[in-house]
Amino acid sequence: MIDHAKALEEKIRTNEARIGTLGLGYVGLPLSVEFAAAGLSVTGFDVSAEKVDAVNAGRSYVKDVPEDRLAPLVRGGRLRASRDFEGLAACDAVIICVPTPLGKTRDPDLSMVVDAARSIAKHLRPGQLVVLESTTYPGTTEELILPLLTEGGLKVGESFFLAFSPERVDPGNARYTTRNTPKIIGGSTPACARVAQALYARAIDTVIPVSSTRAAEMVKLLENTFRSVNIGLVNEVALMCDRLGVDVWEVIDAAASKPFGFMPFYPGPGLGGHCIPIDPLYLSWKLKTLNYRARFIELAGEVNSEMPEYVCERVAAALNEREKSVKGSAVLVLGVSYKRDVDDVRESPALDILRLLESRGARVGYNDPNVPELHLSGATLESQELMPAVRRADVVVIVTDHSSYRYAEIVDAARVVVDTRNATKGIDSPKIIKL
């Protein structure tokens, strides 16, 4: 009888294993590069012809993947991209890195994960490893993926192997990359965990096994729920400080001087991105099916979702102090990506702020060095030239604190600045109104 686990581990050890990544976005492409750089043969699969063509030409569309790192791997034959999912049959390990957004009813939309699993199931053969990296609720791997993969009669842990390893990508983070960020591994069986650990150890510095796929799924949700709840807390503290006449930024900086028992979080215009606004809702949704209400998650979500409205109130107050109304005023938003120095606008609070101000009659515009074009309310906006737009605006709103902005110059040229990120810290001017 063939020991498929030992055979696959040997293939991984000798760099004979062929790796397939399903999804070539901000998770799949960096991961593909790391495996290829480790000496393994990698094929990235994606439905997007644009992404496939770019990868095969050695062009990167992900900021965290430099072209001078991608291109040599493509030229050397270590990495290629394909839209032909028949090629999954030739892969020894397949890693699912597809998006898991929320549906219109704010419930988990796992349609892309299911489609990926079905594609794999069509080509699943003995000796293959399947890993899900897409963020989801605890139980997904065992309850959703495993049944699809066992329909053909293969037995998990013996004929094939299944694991969950949550992605931990932080776009724009130069210090922590795919390679040096510790990787969590949870297998459906001990053999599954062992094989998956052997694979990731080829490309990741530190691999941390946990007892099950469900535990690994929960790890990811705890990480981002922790952030969401603490950001919700500090956002509420900002609202309290406003009513108390206290500078919340001064309070946080002073509290952060305590060397134990305190971790600083900072208020802002709302949550954005692919993880923090969404992941806790996956956990909350799952717990509802078990007749449990995730109260902290729901309360934090409520506070965080109201921050764009609060920002608009601050804008209105700033204009009122200068005997202007929101209606008819020119409002310039600085930064529309969801975080500093990235080009991703998914769930960005800037979008809500622009819509809310527009609904109040403001003439809205934006500048973002990373986002040249923005689709808003059925219209297309273009990033305006920075300093002329600052001078034209009745109020400038700093929503995303890109490092390329020269804030002293912006404050000097602006009529009034509403700063939601404390980007103007250290600049003494009566023009500045902070969150």
Residues acting as catalytic residues: 275
Three-state DSSP at 83 gives coil
Separation of alpha carbons 165 and 186, rounded Å: 6
DSSP string, 138-199: TTHIIIIIHHHHTTTSPPBTTTBEEEE------TT-SSS-TTTS-EEEEESSHHHHHHHHHH
Residues 6+ apart with CB under 8 A from 45: 20, 21, 22, 23, 24, 81, 82, 83, 84, 85, 87, 88
User: Tokens 């807390």 label which residue?
Assistant: 233
Place of tokens 């959703």: 144
Q: How far apart are the first and last CA of the chain?
A: 67
Helices 67-75 and 28-37 cross at an angle (nearest 10°) of 60
Of residues 39, 25, 44, 31, the one with CA closest to residue 88: 44
Give CA angle at 223 (220, 229), nearest 5°. Answer: 130
Query: Torsions phi, psi of 328, nearest 5?
Result: 90, -10
Alpha carbon 276 to its chain centroid, in Å, reads 7
| 8 A C-beta contact, residue 81 and residue 44 | yes
SS3 state of residue 335: coil
Beta-bridge mates of residue 332: 365, 396
